[in-house]
Structure 1
Amino acid sequence: MIIRSTSILSFLLFLVVSAKKFKEEEKPAWAKKDIRDYSDADVERLLDQWEEDEEPLEPDELPEHLRTQPQISLDSFVLRIKDTDPEELMKLTKKGRTLMTFVKVAGNPTRQETEELTKVWQSSLWNNHIPAERYVIEDNRAIFMYKDGSQAWIAKDYLIGEERCESVTIDNKVYEGKHFSKVSTQSTKEEL
């Protein structure tokens, strides 16, 4: 432990000496302190100095919250709005952004059945070049997360066509599965 803390201290000392182009009399008060007396704020300032001469990250390497939102040309969209459904606008606004969808499995599956079924669906999406992460949250529900949110609607079209898919929810809009109807749910409730 002594060797490790000594090497960290020597590294920090190296950073202090070589980080800024200050002459000894121009150094700020925090830089004149002994390195062992540095506070967290001092170390943070030292890190900022260290990184100030680095080249900025490429836009695709930035964390998602720092990326610029894709620009949507509403002029060209307005011309086509009569022929286009509202989902097209949603696809454009979600492009390049992370989006989660909720998938509900029909019937009364166990958690294991839901796990296996959604794993097959996830593999099918990956095979069609739609990367999706999958998280089972209940016995009959799972979250599918897409790094490019515009792909969620393509995945939705696939998922609602599956026999055991009850519904897919994207941005609080529920899309019923093609093999599942509200009538079958109501008749099941009436039988109970």
Structure 2
Amino acid sequence: MRLLILLGLLFVLICHCSSKKTQEKEKPDWAKKDIRDFSDADMERLLDQWEEDEEPLEEDELPEHLRPAPKVDFSNVDMSNPEAILKLSKKGKTLMTFVNVDPSYSREKTEEITQIWQTSLRNNHIQAERYLIDDTRAIFMFKDGSVAWDAKDFLVQQEGCLEVVIENKNYPGLKQNLKMKKMEL
């Protein structure tokens, strides 16, 4: 029993002696302040100091803007199809798509119909987060931007879809196409 206590004390003493602690003289001015007086920049420096001792994050754990861009092989791409090029360039990147629905719909109807569309996309293995931003407008956010064009092909065929906007390009929906046909007659 005494041996265990002695070994425990020895372990604590070794850990205490081997831990690196800076002397008061060696600390920068920002570190000498009371923690309650730290500015955002001071807190950022402290976080950077803590992260120095940690192992670097795995590539898939890094924030999206710090991840290396995926390698794109343009040799198999049809250069006459701009959507195919965009699909490849957005692979693995987050992409937002704006969807405008029939202006005669109420907010509840827009919520209901966009939820049905989101479920249909999920059933087709296309993961999208949906956010209602107006009574007749929603955002579909794709973690893998390359699937946004496949989702667009589905969405523009839906009855209440007025238009889909991806990368500032408008794609008329079924509702808008029906209006155009009525105007032509």
- TM-score, normalization: structure 2? 0.74
Q: In structure 2, what is the Cα distance between the partners aligned to 1:92 and 1:130?
A: 16
Would the aligned equivalents of 1:30 and 1:42 in 2 still touch at CA under 8 Å?
no
Per-residue CA distance 1:157-188 (angstroms, 9 max, x = gap)? 11112222222111121222246415246479
Would the aligned equivalents of 1:104 and 1:142 in 2 still touch at CA under 8 Å?
yes
| Secondary structure of residue in 1 paired with 2:105 | coil
| Secondary structure of residue in 2 paired with 1:117 | helix
In the other structure, the counterpart of 1:128 is 124
The answer to whether structure 1 residue 89 and structure 2 residue 85 are counterparts is yes
In the other structure, the counterpart of 2:55 is 55
Q: Percent sequence identity over matched residues?
A: 52
Q: In structure 2, what is the Cα distance between the partners aligned to 1:107 and 1:29?
A: 60
Per-residue CA distance 1:115-161 (angstroms, 9 max, x = gap)? 10001001111222211111222222211111111110111111112
In the other structure, the counterpart of 2:136 is 140
RMSD value over aligned CA atoms?
A: 3.1
In the other structure, the counterpart of 2:180 is 183
| Secondary structure of residue in 2 paired with 1:137 | strand
Point out where structure 1 has 5 or more consecutive residues left out of the alignment. 1-16
CA drift at 1:87: 0.5
Per-residue CA distance 1:84-109 (angstroms, 9 max, x = gap)? 51101000111111111111223511
Give the 3 Å change call, closer, same or farther, for CA 26–99 of structure 1 in structure 2: same
Give the 3 Å change call, closer, same or farther, for CA 50–91 of structure 1 in structure 2: same
Instruction: Name the count of aligned residue pairs.
Output: 167
Amino acid at match of 1:27: E
- TM-score, normalization: structure 1? 0.71
